[in-house]
Structure 1
Amino acid sequence: MGVRGLQGFVGSTCPHICTVVNIQELAENHRTKYPGCTPTIVVDAMCCLRYWYTPESWICGGQWREYFSALRDFVAAFTSAGIKLIFFFDGMVEPGKRDEWVKRRLKNNREISKIFHYIKSKREQPGRNMFFIPSGLAIFTRFALKSLGQETFCSLQEADYEVASYGLQHNCLGILGEDTDYLIYDTCPYFSIGDLCLETLETIMLCREKLCESLGLHVADLPLLACLLGNDITPEGMFESFRYKCLSSYASVKENAGKKGNIILAVSDYISRVLRLYQGEKKIEDMLPLGPNKALFYKGVAAYLLPGQTSPWLVQKSKGIITEKQVVNPESKQEVPMCLDPESKQEVPARTNPESMQEVPMCTDPESNQEASMCTDPESKQEASMCTDPESNQEASMCTDPESKQEVSIYTYPEVKQKLPSETGAEYNPEVLVCTPPEVKQEDAMDMEPEIKQVTMDSDSEILKVARMHHVHSESYLVYNIMSTGEIECSNTLEDELDQALPSQAFIYRPVRQRVYALLLGDWKDGARSGPVVKEWFVYPGNSLKHPDLVRPLQVTIQGRKPSLEVLWLSQEPAVQARRLDTLLACFNLSSSREDLQAVESPLRALCCLLIYIFVQVDTLSLEDLHAFIAQALCLQGKSTSQLMNVQRSWLTKFHNLKAVVCKACSKENRRIVGRTHWNSHYTGRLGRQGSSSHRTGSTHGHPGHGQPWRDQGPGGRQYEHDQWRRY
C-alpha cells in the first residue's frame, strides 16, 4: 500500500518529521531499556531491492556475485552492531488489491518500452535514472539471504501489514523500508532504506507523532486520513470531489505546500475540526460521501488496524453505524477485532495475527463486487462457445469469468487430446475441494457443456499445511497460492514488446507450469474430459490484464506410478531422489533424454534441462546463443573478477560435452540448432513473436509436449483486438 502524495508532502512541507538517527546508538539504548532483548529491525525486503542492486551495467542483469557481496556486507554491518534482521517478502496479491497491482504493471510496461527505445536509438545502456529491477531478483534474494543465515518470511497477505504487525508484537527497534504506510500504522519507528549509510548506520527516521502534530491529528486518525487521500484499497478518485471541497473551504492555504500538500492539510483540518466534533452524534456516512463504497471505505480503515488495535472511527457510542465485537481465531486462539456494518451486514476484520499465519476473508461490497469469492452461484447461467483456430486446429472454450463478467479463454493443448464433458457436477473428497463457477452452456454441434473447475486443496489437508510452511519460510514460491486459491501472478520482465524474434516468457514456460499444476492439484478422474483451471495473472505484451488467463493443467507422464506430493517433498528414502529427477524431467517433457542428462553433474544438469527446453520452444535462438549460455555457466565457476578478464577456454572439453547433450536432446525433437550464418536464410520470411511461422508447432518424434503450444494460445483471456495478436 501507499498513501497518495504523502511522501512528497513530508519532504517538502514537513521536513521536521524526518530526523537523522544512528541506528547503532538506538540499538544500544534499546538494550539498556530492555535487558536481554536483542534489538531487531524488520526489513521490508521488496523496498530494499533497489538499494542492494547497485551495478551500473544493470540492463542484462547477471551480476550475481556483486549482488551477493552487497547483501553480505549489508547483513554484516547490522550483525557487527548487534542488531538482528528479519526480512519480509511479498507472497501474494490480495483480491482487493488486484486493480492497483494491474495499474502498476501497466505503468511498468510503459517504463520498459522507454528502456528498449533508448537502447535502440542510443545504442548504449540507460543510466540508473531508468533502472528497472532485473527479472527474478526478489526470488533469488530470498535464497541468498537464507544462505547468509538470515530469517526470511514470505507474506500470506499484504506484506507491509505483516511487517508492521511483527514490529509491534515483537517490540522491534524499527522498520526499514520505503513506504508511507509505515507512517500510518501505529507500530514501531520507521527508518528509510533510501537514506541509509551502511558505513555509519545513519538514516532518516520518519516520526508519525510529529506528522500528527503538524496536521492537528491523533495517531488513531491517520488510517482515516490515508483512506480519504487514497491508497491501494480506496482508489484515489473515490474521494476526489470531497478533497477539493475541503480545499475550497480551507482558510490556511500554504504557498510552499503545493496543490497536493494543501489538499492533505485541508483534509486533515476537516477531520480534526468537523468529523471529530460531531463524532458520536452524527453518522460518519452523513459526514462523508461514502455512497456505494461504504464497505470498501470501512475495509480500508480497518486494514491499518494491527492485532489488538481499534479505531475511534469504527465505533459509534449511540445508535452507531459500526459496532465492534471480538472473533476468536481458531488456530491461534487469539481474538481478532471485527467491525460490523449493520446496514450491509458485513464484517470487516482488523486483520489477523501474522504469527498464526491465519487468513481471514475481508468484507465484500455487494455493489462494487470487491473480493469476490472463488466459488460462485451454480444456479447462475453463463453461456460459452467453442472456437477453433483454423491454423492450429486448437480448441479453446470461451466462458464468462464470474468476477470480471468478461469472456476468457480456457487453454487446452493439441497434445492433451481431451474433450470437454457434457455434465459433471462439483465433487468433494477429503483431499480436494472443488468449487464450480456458474454452469457453462455449450451451443455447438456436439451440444456439450464444459465444466470449469477452480480447484483448491482442503484447508485441513496436511500437504497444504506443508506447502503453507514452505511458503511462509521462503522455501518455495507460488506453490501455496496455486494449492490454496488456484491463482498466481507474474510481474513485469524486461521484454521488448516490439521484438518480433522472441516470444514472451509467459508463453514459453506455460506448458511447464501446466504440468506442475497437475502435480499440485491432482489429475482429474479417468474418463473425465475436463480438468481444473488456474487463474494466471501474467504480464506479457498485448495483455491488458483486465481479467486472468484460465489455464488447465496438463497430464504428466512419469515412468512408473506418479509420486504423491508427500513422497516428493517429505520422504527421505534414497530411491525418492531418482523419482524427483523423473518428475523434474517429466515437467520439462525431457524423459526421453534421462540417460544423457543423468550423466551430467549437478547443477549443470538443471542448466541442460533449461537450455534444451528453451531451444526446442524457441527456434529463433542460434548456435551462438547456445555457446554463450554454456560458456557463461562454465567460465564463471570459481573465477575472480581479475581472472574472468583473462579467461581462456581451459574448460573446452566440458563445454563440448554440455553442448553435445543439449544438441542431441533437441535433435530428438526435430530441432536442429544452427549458426547465424545459416540462420538468415533458414528463417527468412518468419513473422516473429506469436506469428504463424515463427516457431515450431509440435514434435514428430512421439513427444507432443515440445514444440510451441504457447503460440496457439493467444494473448490470454483478454478481448481480442485487430492487431498482430489477432492471428490466434
Structure 2
Amino acid sequence: MGVEHLQIFLESPNLEGGAVSVDLLKIARNVTQRQQPHNTNRKIRPIGNKLKLIVDAENCLDRLYGGYFSDWACGGQWNRMVQFLSLLTQAIEPGSIELAVVFNGTIESCRMKEWVAEQANKRQKVASVLRHVNAKATPPPKVWWTPPTCLRSSLRMALRHLGITVMCTMDDHHQEVIAYCREYGFHGLLADDAEYAAFDPPRYFSSEHLKLTYKGSLETKEYMVKELTKTLKLSQEQICIMAALLGNFLLPETSLQDLYKQIGLANVSPQNCKEKEDIAKIETNIKRLAEYIQTLPLPSSMDELVVAVFKNLEDKRASRFRQSVQYYLNGTASGFLKYCAPTVTPKEKKNERNELHVNKKSEDNTFLSTTGFASETTEQERETLQNYKLATANAVMSSDILDSAKDAVKSNIDNGLQSNICLLNGITNGSTSSMVPSVLSMGQVNLLVSSSSSSTSSNHTSPKKSAKNTITKKSNLVTPAVSADVLRTASLRHQKGLMAPQILHVLSTQEVRLPCLMEDELNGEIPPIHDIYQPLRQKVYAVLFNLHHLRYLHSKKKDSGEMPENTPQPDIVIKEWKYSRNNPYQKPEIVKAEPLPWAVPTLQRLWFGPAMDDKRRRMRALLSCLNSDAPLILNTAYVPQHMLIMACVLRYIMSQDKAIMKPQN
C-alpha cells in the first residue's frame, strides 16, 4: 500500500470520468470570456482575466525539459530546452494563461526515507542506462529518463527570464504549493501526486500528460476528484482519512499491516504497482478501504476515530495517525489557513527592525543595502533580459545569434559573475560547455553548478586525499552564527528561485543532501563526482560561515590573553548526505570547512559591499574556490571573458586528479 495508490486509482480507466482530456488554451478562453467586463468603453483591464495555474515542477521535470531528447544521458541539451520553453511561453501568453512554477526547495527531514528510496530508484535507472549504452551504443529508452544534473538550476533561470513566475518552497513542499494556490486565487494545479488529490485543489491537471502540439493546443488530462469521492461514496474529509491509512511519510504502511489484514487488503509491490494485475489489486484495495472508512467517525471527533481504528487511544501509532489525518485536512479548502505561518504584529516588526539595525552596526559601520546583491542593478537585468530575448527569438538558434548575444553581454557579465559565490550549486556533469551560450545571456550568471558540486583544497590535493578529513579530539568545533541580514536575504532569494536551495540549507541547518548522479559506480579509475568536488564545497562552506573572520578573532583573543595559547583554531563542520557502498545514506558524513588562502571578507561584505574593492574580492573568492586565482585568468587575451566559467571549471578538474582528464596522445 501507499498514498500513491490513490493517484493510481484516480488515473485508472476503470474510474469512469476520473481523468478527462482537456485543452488548457480552450479552458483559458472560457475563463477570459466569463470575466470580460460588460462595458466595452472601459479602458481599465479587468483583474484576474487569465487562467492562473500553479505547476509543481518536481512532477514534470521531463516535460519542462522539452520532452525526450537523447542528450539527457550525456549532460543535457540546453538550447533545445530553452527553445521548448520559449515556444510554451509564446503559446500561453496570447492564450491568457498565467503560470507559476514551484520547485522543491525544502530539506524535509521527515521525508528522509522517501528521498533515500527515490535515490535508490535513480541509481537503478542510471545503472540500466550505462549498461544499455555500453552494450548497444545507442541512446537509452525514455523509460529510464533521469533529470540531468543541473536541470533545476537551468529551468529556474530560463523560466524567470521568460517572464514566468518561479518559486522555491521553504518548509513543506506540498502544503506550501496548495496554500499558494488557494491564497492567491489560482484556478488549478498542474501536478501528479496523490497528496494533491487528498487536498482537493480547485482544479487538478496532469503535469505528466502536458503536451504542446503542432496545431497550437496545450493538451493534458484533468483529474476529477469529485468523481473519486462520488465513486467511493466518501466525503473529502474521509478521503483525508484514506490517505492517512494508505501509509505516508508520517505513518508508513509497514506500521499498518495488521489493519490491512483485518480489512483484507492484498499486498502490492511498490516496484510493480503499474502492472495491469497490480493495478487491479490496487483498485480492489481502494474500494475495500473506502467501505471500511464509511464505518468510521469523521475527523471532527478525532478520539473516536483513533479508537475505531486502533481500539485504544494509547496505541503507539495513534499520535502519528492524528498528525497524518490533520496534515491532509490542512491542505483542503477549509483547512489550509491552519497551516499558514502566523502573522507578525507591528510591534514585533518594529522589534525585528531594531534588532537588525543593531546587528548591522555591530558587523559593519558602513550602510549596506540588503535588498539585493551589490553586483546587481536594474539596468543590468533589463539589458540582459533583452539579450536573452534576442537569442531566443526564433525557434531555431543559429550560431550567429548566439555569438552576437555573447558579445552583447560582455559588458555586464563581470558584474553577474560577482553574485556567483553565493550561487554555487555544483558543477554540471558533462554539460557545462553546452550550457554556456544559453546561460551567459541570462543576466545572473549562475555557475551552472548543481548539487553535485564541490570544491578544491587550496593545496590542490587529490580528491581521495582530501576526502580523508577527520575530526580530531583537539578540534575546536563551533556552531556558526549567521547574520540576520544574510539569512533574510538568502530566504527571500530562495523563495523567488534566485538562489540554489542548498545555500539556504547550509546556512540554516549546516546540512546538505547530495543526490545520486549519472556516473559509473564500478569505475575504479575516476573517483565519485561528489568526491571530486568536495574540496570546492569545503571552501564554499568556509566563505558562507566566515571561517577566516572567526579564526582572525580567535588569534586576536589569544594575543590579548583572553584565552589560553594552546586553544585550537575554530573549525566548522557540515553534514553531507552522500551515497557510498559503505554508507548508503545511513548517516551523514562530517566535512570540515577549509578557508581560502587569503583574507576573505565576511559574507555580508561579499554580498552587499558596493565598493570597487568589494567587487574585486567577490571575483577573487569565486576564482579561489575554483582553483583559478591566477593573474592571467582575467586577461581576455588569454581567456575570452565569455569562456571564463568554462576555463575555471576545466582548470579545477585538471587540478584534482590526472585520471579525470588526460591530454590527448
Same fold (TM over 0.5): yes
Counterpart for residue 189 of structure 2: 175
**Residues 296-354 of structure 1, C-alpha deviations (whole Å, 9 max, x = no match):** 22222232344796679xxxxxxxxxxx9999715489xxxxxxxxxxxxxxxxxxxxx
The answer to whether the aligner puts 1:67 opposite 2:90 as a matched pair is: no
Counterpart for residue 336 of structure 1: none
Cα shift at 1:535: 1.3
The answer to whether the aligner puts 1:594 opposite 2:594 as a matched pair is: no
Counterpart for residue 287 of structure 2: 265
Cα shift at 1:567: 2.2
* Equivalent residue runs for 1:149-228 within 5 Å: 149-198=163-212, 199-228=216-245
* Equivalent residue runs for 1:372-451 within 5 Å: 412=469, 420-421=473-474, 450=475
Range moving further from structure 2, 593-602 or 582-591: 593-602
Partner AA of 2:19 in structure 1: C
Partner AA of 2:593 in structure 1: P
Q: Kindly tell me: are residues 227 and 95 of structure 1, through their superposed partners in 2, closer, same or farther at Cα, counting changes over 3 Å?
A: same
Cα shift at 1:242: 0.9
Q: What is the DSSP-based 3-state SS (H/G/I as helix, E as strand, rest coil) of the residue aligned with 1:536?
A: strand
Cα shift at 1:480: 1.0
Cα shift at 1:29: 3.3
The answer to whether the aligner puts 1:554 opposite 2:594 as a matched pair is: yes
Partner AA of 1:573 in structure 2: A
Q: Kindly tell me: are residues 551 and 257 of structure 1, through their superposed partners in 2, closer, same or farther at Cα, counting changes over 3 Å?
A: closer
Partner AA of 1:132 in structure 2: T
CA distance in 2: counterparts of 1:258 and 1:278, whole angstroms: 33
Which of 278, 287, 290 aligns to 2:309? It is 287
Cα shift at 1:31: 3.5
Counterpart for residue 235 of structure 1: 252
Q: What is the DSSP-based 3-state SS (H/G/I as helix, E as strand, rest coil) of the residue aligned with 2:595?
A: coil
Q: What is the DSSP-based 3-state SS (H/G/I as helix, E as strand, rest coil) of the residue aligned with 2:297?
A: helix
The answer to whether the aligner puts 1:99 opposite 2:113 as a matched pair is: yes
Counterpart for residue 545 of structure 1: 585
CA distance in 2: counterparts of 1:240 and 1:115, whole angstroms: 35
Counterpart for residue 462 of structure 1: 485
Which of 21, 28, 42 aligns to 2:54? It is 42
**Residues 492-546 of structure 1, C-alpha deviations (whole Å, 9 max, x = no match):** 2101111122111111111111111111122244353442221111345654101
CA distance in 2: counterparts of 1:180 and 1:277, whole angstroms: 20
Cα shift at 1:197: 3.2
Partner AA of 1:555 in structure 2: P
* Equivalent residue runs for 1:120-139 within 5 Å: 120-139=134-153
Contact 2:578 2:584 in 1 (8 A): no
Cα shift at 1:129: 2.3
Cα shift at 1:585: 1.9
Counterpart for residue 501 of structure 1: 525
Contact 2:476 2:569 in 1 (8 A): no
Q: Kindly tell me: are residues 327 and 176 of structure 1, through their superposed partners in 2, closer, same or farther at Cα, counting changes over 3 Å?
A: closer
Counterpart for residue 7 of structure 2: 7
Counterpart for residue 408 of structure 2: none
CA distance in 2: counterparts of 1:611 and 1:42, whole angstroms: 39
Cα shift at 1:614: 0.5
Q: Kindly tell me: are residues 533 and 179 of structure 1, through their superposed partners in 2, closer, same or farther at Cα, counting changes over 3 Å?
A: same
Pick the structure with more helix per residue: 2
Q: Kindly tell me: are residues 539 and 72 of structure 1, through their superposed partners in 2, closer, same or farther at Cα, counting changes over 3 Å?
A: farther
> What TM-score does the superposition give when structure 2 sets the normalisation length?
0.69
Partner AA of 1:457 in structure 2: V
* Equivalent residue runs for 1:551-590 within 5 Å: 551-558=591-598, 561-590=599-628
CA distance in 2: counterparts of 1:277 and 1:57, whole angstroms: 50
Range moving further from structure 2, 134-143 or 13-22: 13-22
Contact 1:220 1:311 in 2 (8 A): no
Contact 2:58 2:103 in 1 (8 A): yes
Cα shift at 1:612: 0.9
Gapped runs of 5+ residues in structure 1? Answer: 250-254, 313-323, 334-391, 397-409, 422-449, 624-673, 678-728
Counterpart for residue 442 of structure 2: none
Cα shift at 1:232: 3.1
The answer to whether the aligner puts 1:611 opposite 2:611 as a matched pair is: no
Contact 2:19 2:222 in 1 (8 A): yes
Counterpart for residue 328 of structure 2: 304
Range moving further from structure 2, 120-129 or 500-509: 120-129
Q: What is the DSSP-based 3-state SS (H/G/I as helix, E as strand, rest coil) of the residue aligned with 2:73?
A: coil
Q: Kindly tell me: are residues 277 and 575 of structure 1, through their superposed partners in 2, closer, same or farther at Cα, counting changes over 3 Å?
A: closer
**Residues 409-467 of structure 1, C-alpha deviations (whole Å, 9 max, x = no match):** x9637xxxx9643xxxxxxxxxxxxxxxxxxxxxxxxxxxx565554536xx1111011
Partner AA of 1:571 in structure 2: G
CA distance in 2: counterparts of 1:280 and 1:64, whole angstroms: 51
Q: What is the DSSP-based 3-state SS (H/G/I as helix, E as strand, rest coil) of the residue aligned with 1:134?
A: coil
Gapped runs of 5+ residues in structure 2? Answer: 36-45, 267-276, 347-461, 555-566
Q: Kindly tell me: are residues 216 and 604 of structure 1, through their superposed partners in 2, closer, same or farther at Cα, counting changes over 3 Å?
A: same
Q: Kindly tell me: are residues 244 and 456 of structure 1, through their superposed partners in 2, closer, same or farther at Cα, counting changes over 3 Å?
A: farther
CA distance in 1: counterparts of 2:186 and 2:161, whole angstroms: 23
Range moving further from structure 2, 601-610 or 286-295: 286-295
Q: What is the DSSP-based 3-state SS (H/G/I as helix, E as strand, rest coil) of the residue aligned with 1:41?
A: strand
The answer to whether the aligner puts 1:476 opposite 2:499 as a matched pair is: yes
Query: What is the number of equivalent residue pairs in this alignment?
Result: 502
Q: Kindly tell me: are residues 218 and 454 of structure 1, through their superposed partners in 2, closer, same or farther at Cα, counting changes over 3 Å?
A: farther
Q: Tell me the C-alpha RMSD between the 2 structures.
A: 3.3
Contact 1:246 1:266 in 2 (8 A): yes
Contact 1:456 1:482 in 2 (8 A): no
Q: Kindly tell me: are residues 3 and 534 of structure 1, through their superposed partners in 2, closer, same or farther at Cα, counting changes over 3 Å?
A: same
Partner AA of 2:619 in structure 1: L
Contact 1:506 1:539 in 2 (8 A): no
CA distance in 2: counterparts of 1:77 and 1:203, whole angstroms: 14
Q: What is the DSSP-based 3-state SS (H/G/I as helix, E as strand, rest coil) of the residue aligned with 1:62?
A: coil
CA distance in 1: counterparts of 2:520 and 2:331, whole angstroms: 44
Q: Kindly tell me: are residues 72 and 128 of structure 1, through their superposed partners in 2, closer, same or farther at Cα, counting changes over 3 Å?
A: same
Cα shift at 1:105: 0.7
**Residues 345-396 of structure 1, C-alpha deviations (whole Å, 9 max, x = no match):** xxxxxxxxxxxxxxxxxxxxxxxxxxxxxxxxxxxxxxxxxxxxxxx9x999
Q: Which has the higher contact order (CA 8 A, sep 6+)?
A: 2
Contact 2:7 2:192 in 1 (8 A): no
Q: Kindly tell me: are residues 412 and 106 of structure 1, through their superposed partners in 2, closer, same or farther at Cα, counting changes over 3 Å?
A: same
CA distance in 2: counterparts of 1:237 and 1:589, whole angstroms: 49
Q: What is the DSSP-based 3-state SS (H/G/I as helix, E as strand, rest coil) of the residue aligned with 2:575?
A: strand
Contact 1:152 1:474 in 2 (8 A): yes
Percentage of identical aligned residues: 25
CA distance in 2: counterparts of 1:330 and 1:545, whole angstroms: 37
Cα shift at 1:285: 3.8
CA distance in 2: counterparts of 1:87 and 1:614, whole angstroms: 34
Cα shift at 1:156: 0.4
Q: Kindly tell me: are residues 167 and 33 of structure 1, through their superposed partners in 2, closer, same or farther at Cα, counting changes over 3 Å?
A: farther
Q: What is the DSSP-based 3-state SS (H/G/I as helix, E as strand, rest coil) of the residue aligned with 1:551?
A: strand
CA distance in 2: counterparts of 1:119 and 1:328, whole angstroms: 49
**Residues 34-78 of structure 1, C-alpha deviations (whole Å, 9 max, x = no match):** 552132110111222112332134321331111111111122221
Q: Kindly tell me: are residues 496 and 454 of structure 1, through their superposed partners in 2, closer, same or farther at Cα, counting changes over 3 Å?
A: farther
**Residues 545-591 of structure 1, C-alpha deviations (whole Å, 9 max, x = no match):** 01111111111223xx4222222222333332211111112222333
The answer to whether the aligner puts 1:113 opposite 2:153 as a matched pair is: no
CA distance in 2: counterparts of 1:475 and 1:287, whole angstroms: 46
Which of 616, 620, 639 aligns to 2:659? It is 620
* Equivalent residue runs for 1:365-376 within 5 Å: none
* Equivalent residue runs for 1:516-531 within 5 Å: 516-523=540-547, 524-525=550-551, 526=554, 528-531=568-571
Contact 2:229 2:235 in 1 (8 A): yes
Q: What is the DSSP-based 3-state SS (H/G/I as helix, E as strand, rest coil) of the residue aligned with 2:231?
A: helix
CA distance in 2: counterparts of 1:85 and 1:248, whole angstroms: 40
Counterpart for residue 342 of structure 2: 329
Counterpart for residue 22 of structure 1: 23
Pick the structure with more strand per residue: 1
Contact 1:30 1:173 in 2 (8 A): no
Q: Kindly tell me: are residues 36 and 532 of structure 1, through their superposed partners in 2, closer, same or farther at Cα, counting changes over 3 Å?
A: same
Contact 2:6 2:194 in 1 (8 A): yes
